[in-house]
Chain A
Amino acid sequence: MTTFINIQLLYLIIALVAIMAWVGLNALVLVYCERKFAGHIQRRPGPFEVGPHGALQPLIDGLKLMGKQLLTPDGADKVLFWLAPILSFVPVLLLFVPIPYGPVLTGMEMNLGILLILAFAGFNSLALLLAGWASNNKWGLLGAARAVAQAVAYEIPMLLAVLGVAFITGTLNLTEITTMQGAWPWQWNIVLQPLGFIVFLVSAFGETNRAPFDLPEGESELTAGFHTEYSSMGFGLFFMAEYAYMVVVCSVCTVLYLGGFKGPFIDGWWWFLAKTYALLFLMIWVRWTYPRVRFDQLLNINWKWLLPLATFNLLATAFFIKL
């Protein structure tokens, strides 16, 4: 019995270490992809000098961020101020645990995997609120207020979309959801839940504060929103957390709607990565193309469009299952 528990524990520890490495690696790779892709959309080459085709740029940027001075603004609440980035970053590691990267590549298979992810993703809004409040900066406060309203609002359609998939598959276990889908695109859940996919994707943009919904850090209006006063690694942690959340949300979308690690010919983690990165690509593409929505328009989209659509999706799914 003890050996059994030890193996489980060992497996989990290895998984967590691997996740930390994966998050770090992703931060580097995604930053590079974003800057290169942004550059090419804007008719310029993007990072080019540091390393071959700028490949070492994110690494050097990370080193630069670590080398900067850690400033605490005058009058800021020191404890909350430095707690906020940590609170933003650390829960992300937990979110990767239930996600099945391959047939056996899962941190820990859980019956309530999706629930865990949705629950711990809520920490982000708390972290943003703390960041804005503790900064002792009016612009930061506005950014924090916006962030909380936005995060809370967009969780609901996301939940409803996930429920739609749960209805069809009858489980919240991510590995089972994956195995229940087939290898070919017409066998994926997106065929059964197209509306749910769109709702989930739009909510994903809203939850991760990505353009066109990036108001909490609305650069041109609020200077830098909730992270105005952060420098060096404080900012670095927020930054990495944002990219990590993006990866989580795209991974979950892949698992729920696009068949996860299943693909034509041979299943495996390569399909999973390909689909996840395709969605990440889409997120980056949208960011550099569209202007920002205004805050009341953002909430309007949520309450007047996404929520009714998600509810309709759920009811329709329930109806068709009964048939």
Chain B
Amino acid sequence: MSSETVFQTRAEDSIGGDFYAQHFQEGCEENTLVLNMGPQHPSTHGVLRVILEVDGEYILRAEPVLGYLHRMHEKMGEVKSWYQFIPNMGRVDYGHPLAWNWAYVGAVEKLAGIEVPERAEFIRVITCELNRLASHLLWWGAYLLDLGAFTPILYAFDDREAILDILQRPTGSRLTYSSFRIGGVQTDLDEKTVQMIRDFIPIFRERLPMYKALVTDNIILRKRVEGIGEMSPDVIDRYGCSGPVARGSGIEYDVRRNEPYSIYDRFDFEVPTEDTCCAAGRYLVRMEEMAQTLRILEQAVDGLDKAEGGCIMEKAPKPNWKAPAGEAWFAVESGRGKVGVHVVSDGSKTPYRIKLRSPSYSNLSSFAEVAEGVLIADAVSILGSLDLIIPEVDR
């Protein structure tokens, strides 16, 4: 079926630029500047391109253009076997890859009715929460770099080094982890790793007040985030935003609490929510989430010793395993929001259809509406507060 392109490129293009720039400029007003923010830009967090129609410094219209990092993971899912697709999940989101690992593996396990041993669940929780901490630190450092503070990113990376060293031991990687397996995890946590985690928690807990005093309470930063990027709960509903973006607008929804998976219902932790609906709310939610993650980590590490089972189920699926026919949807809370994987199987070696639902995709789709009428500097602040990871948006 031909696409019968609804929009045709102009015959004589008096306007320069590629298809998207021309298509965008068709709706432009008089005397406005059309700017391309990206795909090479220091603060679009990856290869995101946003075409802006600007009047002075005020944005009249914004349109994100995606696809610069599109690798068609969903097609790869139909071509690779069930086992082979796990490393793909490590590359979808480099900030919190273990959440994507979990979403895929969890969906397959749901489909096949596989039960994961308790110890494996604990290991999954521990590694995933450490990853969440690393993801939030990366967000924090990068956000402040966008706002012009050059130092916090290095402090954040200093702390991330400790986490990456810990996670390197069971997973073998520093950034794009693929350590989850269908039925458990790849390697067990040995004594040294557990001890490293136990040592890390109090050290990091001491850092958080320093970050608050240095950065969060700074008047210049507060003026850059308070009142910026108002997203009412209606916007959240219409675009399907989730995670800290939704929680920063007063919606108390966390997949770990509302749709508990694995052993999250055993842990005592709070879901931080802010009512301000602006970038400051999202900022504070993520800072508080870091503290709550430490609580979960402590409880998980304490419970690890008494957990039964091994790090992977007995008779774990071999690489040439076939899932039974059917479909399953599994959702996980990543640092950015609700990650969903819909797996459809026809009983053969490869999946029939895999749909990856990414939180940054939904969060970013609200940008066009939220950024109307703001200054360019505020647009940068809004993008940073949405915590986007572009590989996750493009897949």
Q: At the interface, yes or no: B158 with Cβ under 8 Å from chain A?
A: yes
Q: A220-B148, A221-B43 are in contact. List 8 more A-B contacts (CB 8 A).
A: A44-B154, A139-B35, A218-B377, A220-B43, A220-B380, A288-B150, A291-B224, A294-B377
Kindly provide the distance from the CB of A141 to the nearest chain B CB, expressed in whole angstroms: 8
Residues of A within 8 A of B255 (CB): none
Q: How many pairs, one residue from A and one from B, have CB atoms within 8 Å of each other in the complex?
A: 77
| Nearest B-chain residue to A214, judged by Cβ | B148
**Contact call B375/A290, Cβ cutoff below 8 A:** no
* A window 100-151: CB within 8 A of B: 138-139, 142
6 smallest beta-carbon distances between A and B, as pairs: A292-B148, A291-B149, A42-B154, A291-B147, A220-B43, A220-B146
B35 engages A289 (CB within 8 Å): no
Q: How far is the CA of A151 from the CA of B218 in the complex (A)?
A: 25
Whether, in the assembled complex, B42 has its beta carbon less than 8 Å from a beta carbon of chain A, the answer is yes
The answer to whether the Cβ of B57 comes within 8 Å of any Cβ in the partner chain is: yes
Tell me which residues across on chain A come within 8 A of B214, comparing CB atoms.
Answer: 289
Query: Given A291-B149, A292-B147, does the pair A220, B220 have CB atoms closer than 8 Å?
Result: no
Binding site for A on B (CB under 8 A): 33, 35, 41-43, 57, 144-151, 154-155, 158, 214, 218, 220-221, 223-224, 375-378, 380
Distance in Å: Cβ of B21 to nearest Cβ of chain A: 12
Residues A198-232 near B (CB distance < 8 A)? 211-212, 214-215, 218-221, 223
Contact with B along A289-306 (1 / 0, CB 8 A): 111111111000000000
> Do A220 and B151 have beta carbons less than 8 Å apart?
no
**The one of B144, B155, B158, B380 that contacts A221, using a Cβ cutoff of 8 Å:** B380
Instruction: Given A42-B155, A220-B146, check contact A294 B375 (CB 8 Å).
Output: yes
Asked if residues A43 and B148 are in contact (CB atoms below 8 Å), the reply is no
Structural contact, B220 and A290, CB atoms closer than 8 A: yes
Check if B218 sits within 8 Å of A291, measured CB to CB: yes
With A43-B155, A291-B144 known to touch, is A221 a contact of B150 (CB < 8 Å)?
A: no
A288 pairs with B151, CB closer than 8 A: yes
Chain A residues contacting B147 (CB-CB under 8 Å) are 220, 291-292
When distances are taken between beta carbons in the complex, the residues of chain B under 8 Å from A43 are 154-155, 158
- A38 within 8 Å of B by Cβ? yes
The residues of B that contact A41 with a CB separation of less than 8 Å are 151
A43 to B161, CA, bound (A): 13
